[in-house]
Structure 1
């Protein structure tokens, strides 16, 4: 703690065992309250208001309060005072000589502010203590005599070139209201780190040390210097500057000249300014260089949204999202820093605007309410959605060069500023300045930002992963085209024509299969029966096929019911819960499988019922006729499966499924279903390829003398199915590429 002067008459020496007054207050308690007042004050607090009434601790408290007042006034250069002025203001100081340790503090505080201060001035001013002062002040090796429990931390005293604990401070990286950040060499580990030096308060390091994510600055550890009440938080050094530097460049660059190259150029300028070597070209830098400016914003935003999602799942909120708190690596990768874990709810004092600096402009309405002295909101009301709001403000500002809310003209005290900000943020998202957005801004990027900026937290993205997926859509050209097709695209119109499209996709191949089955069987089976049996066969076949068609029609509509209801509601602006949307997405991806399996089952049933019904009516069919009829049904069932499957799924994946992506909530199950549909399509492609082979295989059961009668039908089947396979294969390839694009987005 100290290097105090030897005690003399009237001197005070702080100890940990301070006397207490009748209320149990110690000198340390009194001094700590005064020191806290200085930390949040904009003008010097009144020292006399903190003096205790109890004579037991009043004198010692007075001396310690003067030390704190001296240190803050001279350290901050805020109305500095001399001891003589204290004596004039506080008559009780005249009743005994000033303690040497108090004179010692004033001398060194003045010496720090003006190196020309001489010892002789003090020995002359205090002749009775001249000998002792001459010895005390002869060395420049200053050691504070203040009580450690109340020692003020003057961060301005920390300079480049100093050694603090295990760290050699090399250069300043930034500063805030309550901390300074330096690039330092950690001696014990022989590595470069960023050291954040702040007052020893809060639990930030313990919380941040648990966060290990690619897009969050890695916190290594902390050290607490109890004697100086300092906390050293040392972390990964990220050399590429911050998004604030990028923002400054954006504001001076015309919109048409902004691109991913601008980001890289800013980073390279920062590296050059720090004497860092510009990195060699990498895949990440090449990727960034090829991006438009909106795509660059989406690229940055997706990573930051993932970081907030990770932190939110770990129970950590950032609460201070702003450009200066996003660091950039040499390759342009953003990393969130400076999580404001110790945010303490409503802020007392006259000016939270000054307390938070420039951060207020990036806060969500509920966070502004939490710092508003007259609003009921508290820090406990905040969640990840509040951080995502701040992220959206940052991204909008980077995208356009301006914030979405005009907060640049904020003036006045806390209530005036906060009330104005809350009013501007309470309006509908439709009132946002869309005219500021660049012409090439993807719809997905606009949607991601607008939804995150909704004044109602319940209408924002549920989590960072949902917002990240939306931003990922902007970076994948195929996914972007699927989710936001051109206004004139057939895919948009087809969403309203679900029943007609499904009817055509299923009914046409089945109708062709029925026509082939009927004509093929009439030649080989029905034509060999007498007229009455033929009539009876026609009746049974017509009734069976008609009944199966009706069942298939009903089944298709039942399978479409939930999907049609949800998709129709979404078009009308209706909201649905996560489970309902998840079920609708699942129904969409299973639509083709369910319908074609229903069709195949009905063909198999018809293949059994028709010949049995014919026999039950008194008409005899040979065993060969039974086998041939059933094989024909299987061939037609394969036709009814393969071709509708690809047409239905092509429609479902290209037109229906993408309309759910803008609503979020996609997760691991969706990725599995997409991958499963991809694998299943390969099996159905094999079935489509097997249709002509099945037709040829069925011909082996036809008596040789009957082959000439069906050879034309077989040729039509083989040639037609081969041509159809070409179309099916094209659909398969398109489906494969669409699924891959959707998987890329959903997997994120």
Structure 2
């Protein structure tokens, strides 16, 4: 097979994976990948069908039979691969639901004998052990009994409907491990859904078998999965109590320990994770739990699986206190009418889920329905109460949610709840899906931000804080940060040049120099200001739009964040250009007066003075601007969407540049003193006053910007931590 033909198979497989992960909505059309070459067409087509049939039967409502492929591709009728492809169909269908071998063979009577022999030769006829038969009803099963490979030890929790769903702690004999075994009636395909998921915060489903109970009811399921001994979020809510504020994360550990002891397990004696939890306040503990659950939701959604049944009993904890999601609802498609619709859990359902329960024509759900449910769950963990009062019907619950979180619910938030966590949860609970966090990954980033005290205070400063008010004056403050050092440097430069050069010229030449310099500087200032407004347009206009409720695209917010980080560098380019033009043009202005040209000595001191003043005009604005931008402006963008790890790289580079500019600030007093040693005594006497002003002023200014630099360094490090939280270390 040529490389090009193999590539078509690889592309088809990759496109199927994207479809399963949710990055595309429809299965890839097989016909688009079949080559035209007659010699290789049938062989490639067979490989494509194998991939297609396997993936289609993984998704309810998408399954296709070999009969369909034979109709679509006539050359398939007499393919030598036909029998093996029928084996692929049988295996795929048997894994997705009960399918007796004889029923399958009856669908292909002309090939039945050949298929039976092929299945027997490959062992495919024994898949799922031909359905497990249990000589008891589900209600009669009890601890102490053996079911197939499992010794049932104890029942886990009280099932809401023991006639249809029970969970046991069991020992799997063949693997000598503890597992949770769930026995249920009905053929819902949730085990197959969860078996695709392998994430540290999702309960791992090992496998499942179809069962028939003694009462002869319809096929049921035996699902065995990872055993998680630390109880559920429902038990954490029971332990929460009124004194949670003083105990913080120890409330979670107490609930976990109670569940572990009830199961006869021993809690970990030396655990870094437990020590981390114990040091958290209760709001931080809720954010810690929520971050991990949001990551799990995002992972599942990227693999084409939504939870759609998030509630306290579906959040389990390990003995260390690490949360795991369980009991994902089965996938449902419009082509799968036989699958029973999931029951709406009114207390945790999103408005769109309630709308769909009331009107089947309502839009389909997406990941933001799970984000809403997680927001409700975290709010309940945080406050001990649900954000919405009890409602006896989906219609009443929908009306409550459309009104948003009321003031009475907001008053239930703990006094130590960070403003960042309040904002994050309220965004989760927005009635309109498009106003919530777009994905679980974005929500996880926001919750991670809530765990860093310094970073969350930057992003969500107190309502009456000076930093919040200074955001409104960004144009004025940036102008002052640039203008004041430049004005002081210009004044010194003017006095220095006047004393050494201009005062030695005629009165007429002095007037001409003053006029020309004023006009030139005004032109330079105007052009420089226009350039800086262009560079800073996003940090000028986007914050205003955010305050007035404008919703910007992720691309616009990304540009605003990037421009804010880079504005100091870009502004310095404009400032440096103006000082360069000024330095170059001044000698030409002197030459144009018609007076005697100053000596090389005077020009040398002019350029030294200009260099020192230019350094002042560059160093101090850079540090002042970045202190203000990083402390007041940049963090506000982080509260409106994606927190990008790319920003962490930019901030790290900015932190290094700030250190370099601090060295420049330290050098300015030394340069000013060193320049004085090059003057003859007569000239030194003329400028001694302004020189002292420069030396003393630059020392005081250095001490001031050093204090700002240390604060800026702390801010940058905090932001780097939340922008790239996993850099250099894993998180449990």
TM-score bracket relative to the smaller structure:
0.7 to 0.9
Q: 1:168 to 1:728 in 2, by over 3 A?
A: same
**CA-CA distance at 1:562 after TM superposition:** 3.1
Match of 1:277 among 266, 273, 276: 266
Task: Report if the CA contact (8 A) 1:345-1:371 is conserved.
Answer: no
After TM superposition, list the pairs within 5 Å mapping 1:200-211 onto structure 2: 201-211=187-197
**CA-CA distance at 1:611 after TM superposition:** 0.9
1:248 matches 2:233: no
**CA-CA distance at 1:566 after TM superposition:** 1.6
**CA-CA distance at 1:496 after TM superposition:** 1.4
Q: 1:131 maps to which residue?
A: none
Match of 1:734 among 696, 711, 717: 711
After TM superposition, list the pairs within 5 Å mapping 1:333-348 onto structure 2: 333-343=322-332
Distance in 2 of aligned mates of 1:347 and 1:296 = 40
1:649-700 deviation per Cα after TM superposition (whole angstroms, max 9, x unaligned): 1111111122222211222222222223222212222221222343345456
**CA-CA distance at 1:226 after TM superposition:** 6.0
After TM superposition, list the pairs within 5 Å mapping 1:565-584 onto structure 2: 565-584=541-560
**CA-CA distance at 1:326 after TM superposition:** 0.6
1:682 matches 2:659: yes
Q: 1:702 to 1:203 in 2, by over 3 A?
A: farther
Task: Report if the CA contact (8 A) 1:345-1:370 is conserved.
Answer: no
Match of 1:480 among 456, 459, 466: 456
Q: 1:516 to 1:385 in 2, by over 3 A?
A: same
Q: 2:209 maps to which residue?
A: 224
1:403 matches 2:386: yes
Gaps of 5+ in 1: 1-146, 411-416
Match of 1:307 among 279, 296, 300: 296
1:3-50 deviation per Cα after TM superposition (whole angstroms, max 9, x unaligned): xxxxxxxxxxxxxxxxxxxxxxxxxxxxxxxxxxxxxxxxxxxxxxxx
Q: 1:391 maps to which residue?
A: 374
Q: 1:464 maps to which residue?
A: 440
**CA-CA distance at 1:510 after TM superposition:** 0.6
Task: Report if the CA contact (8 A) 2:132-2:210 is conserved.
Answer: no
Q: 1:62 maps to which residue?
A: none
Distance in 2 of aligned mates of 1:363 and 1:154 = 33
Distance in 2 of aligned mates of 1:560 and 1:522 = 35
Distance in 2 of aligned mates of 1:650 and 1:403 = 41
Distance in 2 of aligned mates of 1:293 and 1:585 = 31
Match of 2:617 among 634, 640, 662: 640
Match of 1:215 among 196, 201, 216: 201
Match of 1:628 among 605, 625, 635: 605
After TM superposition, list the pairs within 5 Å mapping 1:64-463 onto structure 2: 154-174=137-157, 175=159, 177=161, 178-199=164-185, 201-219=187-205, 221-225=206-210, 229-250=219-240, 252-253=241-242, 259-343=248-332, 356=343, 359-372=345-358, 374-377=359-362, 381-407=364-390, 410=392, 417-430=393-406, 433-463=409-439
1:613 matches 2:599: no
Distance in 2 of aligned mates of 1:684 and 1:286 = 40
Q: 1:631 to 1:214 in 2, by over 3 A?
A: farther
Distance in 1 of aligned mates of 2:334 and 2:140 = 30
Q: 1:704 to 1:370 in 2, by over 3 A?
A: same
Distance in 2 of aligned mates of 1:356 and 1:258 = 36
Task: Calculate the TM-score normalised by the size of structure 2.
Answer: 0.74
Q: 1:541 maps to which residue?
A: 517
1:211 alignment partner, SS class = coil
Task: Report if the CA contact (8 A) 1:597-1:641 is conserved.
Answer: no
**CA-CA distance at 1:430 after TM superposition:** 4.6
**Two-structure CA RMSD over aligned residues (Å):** 3.0
What is the count of residue pairs matched by the alignment? 586
Q: 2:702 maps to which residue?
A: 725
Distance in 2 of aligned mates of 1:485 and 1:548 = 38
Distance in 2 of aligned mates of 1:567 and 1:273 = 53
Distance in 1 of aligned mates of 2:131 and 2:528 = 84
Task: Report if the CA contact (8 A) 2:539-2:633 is conserved.
Answer: no
Task: Report if the CA contact (8 A) 2:134-2:211 is conserved.
Answer: no
Distance in 1 of aligned mates of 2:204 and 2:283 = 28
Q: 1:442 to 1:429 in 2, by over 3 A?
A: same
2:343 alignment partner, SS class = helix
Task: Report if the CA contact (8 A) 1:604-1:634 is conserved.
Answer: no
**CA-CA distance at 1:288 after TM superposition:** 2.3
Task: Report if the CA contact (8 A) 1:692-1:722 is conserved.
Answer: yes
**CA-CA distance at 1:256 after TM superposition:** 5.2
Q: 1:148 to 1:441 in 2, by over 3 A?
A: closer
Task: Calculate the TM-score normalised by the size of structure 1.
Answer: 0.72
1:315 alignment partner, SS class = coil
Q: 1:166 to 1:270 in 2, by over 3 A?
A: same
Distance in 2 of aligned mates of 1:588 and 1:320 = 41
**CA-CA distance at 1:290 after TM superposition:** 3.0
Distance in 1 of aligned mates of 2:265 and 2:133 = 41
**CA-CA distance at 1:255 after TM superposition:** 5.8
Q: 1:626 to 1:162 in 2, by over 3 A?
A: farther
Match of 1:671 among 641, 648, 654: 648
Stretch of structure 1 that moved more, 292-301 or 709-718 = 709-718
Task: Report if the CA contact (8 A) 2:131-2:209 is conserved.
Answer: no
**CA-CA distance at 1:711 after TM superposition:** 4.6
Q: 1:294 to 1:149 in 2, by over 3 A?
A: closer
Q: 1:658 maps to which residue?
A: 635
1:495 alignment partner, SS class = helix
Task: Report if the CA contact (8 A) 2:387-2:405 is conserved.
Answer: no
